[in-house]
């Protein structure tokens, strides 16, 4: 080494043709699987269609082999920003890279399509990413020396990721290279004491960086500084300033060593030892920012198995009183190329673009190219199923319906009353919307006529118990669990007390208590039974608990889907308040039900004979209506669309009223459809104040004495009992009186003519 003579560097003696071209050991990218799993999660949930580069961290160590490590914790404080402005965003990050490793800036560029991944000009990408920052100087140039760039195309549906890592390095012009002239191991060149001093000085430098709070990109997260300047006495961080200081302070009496932590790691030293990848840019930096082009410099390639992690309590003096002597480090005399030996920008030569930045990694076939990684084997199959099930909903959020509340739908607790054709179809469609918490009530068993139309049942359910069939609620719940992996579903066999169907008081007490509990703990109740009278008690209860209720009923070839209006609420003094413009329930229709024309046949609610296509249509409408309603801030109290130009039956498309619509469109009160005419209508019917199910007087009677009301209603041979409570009897009498008066007037009129 002494032969290199001089202090800092030596003018190149012209004609000196000795030496050799320095070879470099490329990095091998090591991306841990959790990194990819996390990235895919971020892509789906947060990044979505955004193609801005994300600024992350990777790291390498000096204990070999030269692995560039990407770990899942890189995402903990990631920020989405363009690569050029990423340096400032690092300031707020916490320590992530341990200080026996070098932290490097990783810019992750995601692509939304395979095509755009493949078509983008990779070399230009690397040049744009590296060159401007390098030329700017300062901390940015220092950070650029070890920056790396990751192109990614995630194929979320198949859990695969296509990626390509680029670790840019400046190339010299053809015929030019970085030449070395002398190589010696540190152990040979330095005395034991000098080596001990170096180990101590490096430890102090690291400690100072740790304590300084300096989070400039060059040493972001206070990892090991990739480069340093040292003499046998001192050790400094790399910068033009510290280099100048060193020249002045040391009075040019000491040799300056340009040190770097060499990722190629300790290995038996061979002649013309290949050097770690960062040296390439380091030499370019010496040329460009320290003006050492054309001069010989002494490089210290620091390789160590013994580099220890420092913490705040580490006593450096104690730690290094007997420092491990590094036998593996190398001192190398290198000739720094001239500035004109480098070409900073891409240029066009003979019509062909020539790029001087290289660094794209080789693939498995040892050719430059991207690699696929398959995450499927890493993921638990249940987890895969759950993720895949949500995929379509999450994709809907990306562009089509950004306001879609996927999480809310998943958390919504739905009670289905009835597990027949409607119940099965509604449950099936709810799953599609991501609803996972369901309870199903039914009192029947699966019979042989069921499976063909009731999509959750199979013949096996019918054969159960010598052909008596499995309880429907249970069978439906079990079937749902085989469809969605994260289904939380329960089937409850329960018979609902019905008006005109007498039962013992005890039986009523039990079923009322059970049904009441089910309704009070859910968010949405679906009324999907096949008789009119079985809908009465749930309607009363939902009005009393003010829940969302969606009701679906089938005729032979027509169907009705409606949402019940908001329930009865009490003010602070316990008085029942009914809101202005409250929408009606299923039973409110009985008196004022809109009956338009022959196109709208009256529903025969008793009838279970329907055209097979009807139930899926009505069920889908019922689910879509619920999803729309859950997106409205007022939920069950959401107003119905205002009347269109042709009254309450106006076609849906004519509405454009923001108060009654949400991100999914308008929310009608009722949808009535017919398969005879293939038409739909969306009438609105206000609550009827003498309704036998949702009138304030009925709800009040229910709240006063539940069992009494239900028992008497079931016991009653006719509807008078209920009509008296609701005030319907009085209303009818009043109406009859008015009618009579009108008839009298008619008579008078007749007399006049």
Longest dimension (CA), the chain: 138
User: If you count them, how many residues does the chain have?
Assistant: 753
Q: Which is nearer to Zn ion, 650 or 693 (CB)?
A: 693
For the CB of residue 700, give the shortest distance to Zn ion in the complex, in Å.
14
Q: How far apart are CA 540 and CA 530, in angstroms?
A: 17
Distances (CA, A) of 111 to 43, 115, 162, 167, 370: 10, 9, 10, 19, 13
Q: Looking at beta carbons only, is 477 or 694 nearer to Zn ion?
A: 694
Least Å from the CB of residue 592 to Zn ion = 10
CA distance 77 to 698: 58
Structure-token pair, residue 247: 């020249």
Q: Is cis: bond before 201, omega within 30 of 0? A: no
In Å, what is the CA distance from 150 to each residue of 106, 108, 360, 711? 7, 5, 10, 71
Q: How far is the CB of 566 from Zn ion (least distance, A)?
A: 12
Determine the Cα–Cα distance for residues 367 and 365; give it in Å rounded to an integer: 5
Residue found by looking up tokens 């960086």 in the block: 209
Is 83 or 713 the residue whose CB approaches Zn ion more closely? 713
For residue 527, give the nearest of 650, 447, 370, 420 by alpha carbon: 420
Considering only CA atoms, which of 240, 236, 242, 280 is closest in space to residue 259? 236
Cα-based torsion angle of the residue sequence 414, 417, 421, 426 in order, rounded to the nearest 10 degrees? -10
Q: How far apart are CB 691 and Zn ion at their closest, in Å?
A: 3
Name the DSSP class of 463: H
Q: Is-catalytic flag, 151?
A: no
Query: Shortest Cβ distance from residue 588 to Zn ion (Å)?
Result: 3
Instruction: Using CB atoms within 10 Å of the CB of residue 544, give its burial: 0 to 12 exposed, 13 to 18 middle, 19+ buried.
Output: buried
Of 141 and 698, the one with the shorter C-beta distance to Zn ion is 698
Give the DSSP H/E element, type plus range, for residue 505: helix 505-521
Residue in 348, 346, 30 with CA at minimum distance from that of residue 170: 346
Shortest Å, Cβ 561 to Zn ion: 16
The Cα-based distances of 354 to 34, 171, 178, 455 in angstroms read 37, 11, 20, 64
> Which residue in 375, 442, 696 sits closest to 544, CA to CA?
696
Minimal distance in Å, beta carbon 664 to Zn ion? 26
The rounded distance, in Å, linking the Cα atoms of 361 and 358 is 9
Nearer to Zn ion among residue 202 and residue 691 (C-beta): 691
Decide whether 512 or 694 has the Cβ nearer to Zn ion.
Answer: 694
Q: How far is the CB of 160 from Zn ion (least distance, A)?
A: 54
Of 209 and 694, which has the nearer Cβ to Zn ion? 694
Contact indicator for 293, 264 with CB cutoff of 8 Å: no
C-alpha span between 204 and 243 (Å, rounded): 18
User: Looking at beta carbons only, is 83 or 726 nearer to Zn ion?
Assistant: 726
Q: Are 455 and 437 in contact (CB under 8 A)?
A: no
Residue 550 φ then ψ, to 5°: -115, 130
Q: Which residue has the tokens 């041979």?
A: 717
Please say whether the beta carbons of 157 and 143 come within 8 A.
Answer: no
Q: Which residue among the candidates 235, 245, 462, 607 is catalytic per the annotation?
A: 607
Q: Which residues sit opposite 473 in a β-bridge?
A: none
The closest alpha carbon to 592, from 604, 582, 584, belongs to 584
The nearer residue to Zn ion, 224 or 691, going by C-beta atoms, is 691
CB of 738: closest distance to Zn ion in angstroms?
22
Contact 324, 90 (CB under 8 A): no
56 vs 693 by CB, closer to Zn ion:
693
Min separation Cβ 689 and Zn ion, Å = 9
Buried b (16+ CB within 10 A) or exposed e, 123-156: bebbbbbbbbbbeeeebbbbbbbbbbbbbbbbeb
CB of 692 vs Zn ion, minimal distance in Å = 7
Q: Which residues in this chain contact Zn ion in the complex, by CB under 5 A?
A: 585, 587-588, 691, 693-694
**By C-beta, is 475 or 588 nearer to Zn ion?**
588
- Active site members: 607
């Amino acid at each position: 080494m002494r032969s290199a003579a001089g202090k800092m560097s030596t003018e190149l003696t012209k004609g000196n043709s000795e030496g050799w071209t320095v070879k470099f050991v490329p990095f091998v990218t090591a991306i841990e699987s959790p990194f990819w799993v996390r990235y895919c999660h971020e892509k789906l949930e947060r990044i979505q269609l955004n193609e801005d580069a994300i600024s992350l961290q990777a790291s390498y160590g000096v204990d070999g082999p030269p692995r560039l490590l990407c770990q899942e914790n890189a995402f903990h404080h990631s920020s989405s920003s363009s690569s050029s402005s990423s340096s400032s965003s690092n300031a707020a990050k916490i320590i992530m890279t341990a200080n026996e490793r070098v932290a490097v800036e990783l810019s992750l560029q995601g692509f939304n399509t395979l095509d755009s991944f493949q078509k983008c000009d990779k070399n230009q990408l690397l040049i744009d990413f590296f060159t401007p920052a390098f030329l700017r100087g300062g901390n940015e140039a220092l950070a650029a020396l070890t920056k790396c760039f990751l192109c990614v195309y995630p194929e979320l549906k198949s859990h695969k990721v296509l990626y390509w890592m680029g670790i840019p390095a400046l190339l010299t012009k053809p015929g030019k290279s970085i030449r070395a002239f002398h190589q010696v191991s540190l152990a040979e060149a330095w005395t034991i004491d000098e080596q001990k001093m170096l180990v101590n000085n490096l430890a102090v430098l690291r400690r100072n960086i740790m304590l300084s709070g300096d989070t400039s990109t060059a040493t972001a997260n206070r990892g090991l500084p990739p480069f340093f300047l040292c003499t046998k006495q001192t050790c400094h961080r790399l910068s033009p300033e510290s280099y100048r200081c060193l020249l002045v302070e040391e009075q040019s009496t000491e040799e300056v060593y340009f040190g770097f932590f060499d990722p190629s790691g300790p290995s038996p030293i061979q002649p013309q030892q290949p050097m770690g990848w960062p040296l390439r840019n380091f030499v370019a930096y010496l040329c460009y920012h320290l003006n050492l082009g054309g001069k010989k410099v002494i490089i210290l390639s620091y390789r160590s198995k013994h580099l220890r992690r420092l913490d705040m309590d580490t006593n450096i003096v104690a730690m290094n009183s007997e420092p491990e002597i590094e036998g593996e480090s190398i001192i190398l005399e290198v000739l720094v190329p001239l500035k004109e030996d480098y070409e900073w920008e891409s240029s066009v030569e003979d019509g062909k673009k020539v790029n001087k930045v290289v660094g794209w990694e080789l693939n498995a076939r040892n050719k430059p190219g991207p690699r696929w990684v398959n995450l499927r084997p890493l993921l638990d199959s249940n987890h895969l199923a759950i993720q895949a099930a949500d995929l379509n909903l999450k994709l809907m959020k990306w562009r089509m319906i950004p306001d879609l509340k996927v999480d809310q739908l998943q958390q919504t607790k739905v009670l289905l009353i009835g597990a027949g054709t409607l119940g099965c179809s509604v449950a099936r469609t709810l799953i599609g919307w991501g609803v996972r918490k369901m309870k199903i009530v039914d009192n029947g068993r699966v019979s042989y006529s069921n499976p063909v139309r009731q999509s959750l049942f199979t013949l096996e359910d019918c054969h159960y118990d010598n052909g008596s069939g499995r309880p429907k609620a249970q069978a439906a719940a079990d079937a749902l669990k085989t469809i969605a992996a994260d289904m939380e579903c329960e089937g409850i066999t329960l018979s609902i007390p019905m008006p005109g169907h007498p039962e013992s008081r005890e039986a009523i007490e039990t079923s009322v208590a059970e049904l009441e509990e089910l309704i009070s703990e859910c968010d949405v109740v679906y009324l999907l039974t096949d008789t009119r009278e079985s809908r009465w008690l749930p309607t009363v209860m939902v009005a009393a608990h003010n829940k969302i209720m969606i009701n679906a009923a089938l005729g032979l070839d027509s169907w009705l889907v409606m949402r019940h209006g908001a329930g009865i609420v009490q003010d602070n003094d316990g008085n029942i308040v009914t809101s202005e413009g409250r929408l009606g329930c299923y039973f409110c229709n009985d008196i004022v039900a809109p009956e338009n024309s022959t196109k709208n046949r009256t529903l025969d609610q008793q009838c279970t004979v329907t055209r097979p296509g009807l139930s899926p249509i009505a069920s889908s409408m019922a689910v879509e209506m619920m999803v729309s309603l859950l997106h409205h801030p007022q939920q069950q109290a959401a107003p119905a669309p205002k009347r269109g130009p042709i009254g309450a039956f106006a076609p849906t498309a004519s509405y454009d009223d923001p108060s009654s619509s949400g991100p999914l469109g308008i929310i009608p009160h009722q949808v009535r459809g017919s398969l005879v005419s293939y038409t739909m209508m969306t009438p609105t019917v206000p609550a009827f104040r003498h309704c036998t199910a949702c009138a304030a007087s009925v709800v009040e009677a229910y709240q006063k004495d539940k069992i009494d009301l239900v028992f008497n209603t079931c016991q009653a041979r006719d509807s008078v009992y209920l009509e008296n409570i609701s005030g319907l009897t009085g209303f009818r009498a009043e109406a009859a009186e008015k009618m009579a008066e009108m008839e009298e007037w008619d008579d008078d009129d007749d007399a006049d003519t």
